[in-house]
Chains A and B, each alone.
Chain A
Amino acid sequence: MLDTFAALAEPNRLRIVELLRRGPRPVNDIGARLELAQPQVSKHLRVLKQAGLVEVEARAQQRVYALDPRPLMQLARWLERYRALWDERFTQLDDVLEDLARQQKETGHGRTKKR
């Protein structure tokens, strides 16, 4: 999974991944759409392939790259789990904040009292 993070941390590789989310594309098309030089695109695609993020298929004279969604889904699950942890904390904090606001109203002042 660190490979996934490392691969996506480079802005142009992230752009390639986002482009491929819309569908498979030949190498030269990726370069043209993202205005990247061919050697650069090839280098990034190699890293993405090593991280298991893309698959390549030879079609006629072209090499077509497609996204493999599995590492991204794994990443999404981990992020969602960590987000859910914070969301649970924050939902509890919402209740505490409501309590604090009620206490302030009862004491008639705008400040929380120290216990």
Chain B
Amino acid sequence: MDEPRRGETTLELVGDRALRITRVFRAPPQVVFDAWTKPEVVARWWAPRSRAEMVESTADVRVGGAYRYVLRAREGHGFAHAGGATFAFSGMYLEVAPHARLAYTHVFEPMAHAGSCTIRVRFEPVGEWTRLISEEEYTSAELRGIVLETGMEHGMRETMDQLDDLVLTLT
């Protein structure tokens, strides 16, 4: 088999309250599912390293079970200006179909008053690989706007993308 290209991450707007993220991984669904759910493995990849590190991760992966990820923002690379501070994301599992589907609530605790999001993840086999489709449905259009606008500050260069590259898929 040819060495596969690194997967491309796509992001689409879905209606006025949801987002869809899609990515192909070079591993079968059971491995990707484990990496997505086992807290000791989540700790190795979930914090975007340029901005934060994970300091604690717990997960009780069954319907009604809770998970909580605690991150510490790197100095000078604050998540919402939280440099040096810790902040947590948490939620509860709504559906657990091993190696195939997951659904869980997801709350950014410092902004819990603004609402939450329900994430539905599908792990689809593509040959020996996995296509991961994660749909984030926010409790309001306002909250999705906040997450896109301010919730996830990124220090990346501000490129003015060509309009042709704009993903405007609404389903």
Task: Give chain A's interface residues, CB within 8 Å of chain B.
Answer: 1-2, 5-6, 8-9, 11, 14, 17-18, 21, 69, 72-73, 75-98, 100-101, 104, 111-112, 114-115
Contacts and interface: CB of A to CB of B under 8 A. Distances in A.
Contacts of B152: 81-82, 85
Contacts of A18: 168
Interface string B10-50: 11010110010101011100111011001011001111111
A101 B49 contact: no
B142 A17 contact: no
B154 A85 contact: yes
Interface of B: 6-7, 9-11, 13, 15-16, 19, 21, 23, 25-27, 30-32, 34-35, 38, 40-41, 44-50, 141-142, 144-145, 147-149, 152-154, 156, 158-161, 163, 165-168, 170
Contacts of B21: 83, 86
Contacts of B48: 85, 88-89, 92
Given A2-B142, A5-B145, A94-B6, A81 B170 contact: no
Contact of A83 (B9, B16, B38): B9
A2 B141 contact: yes
B163 A97 contact: no
Nearest to A13: B170
Contacts of A72: 163, 166
A5 B141 contact: yes
Given A84-B154, A100-B27, A5 B45 contact: no
Contacts of B49: 88, 92
Contact of B163 (A76, A88, A100, A112): A76
B163 A83 contact: no
Given A17-B168, A97-B35, A9 B149 contact: no
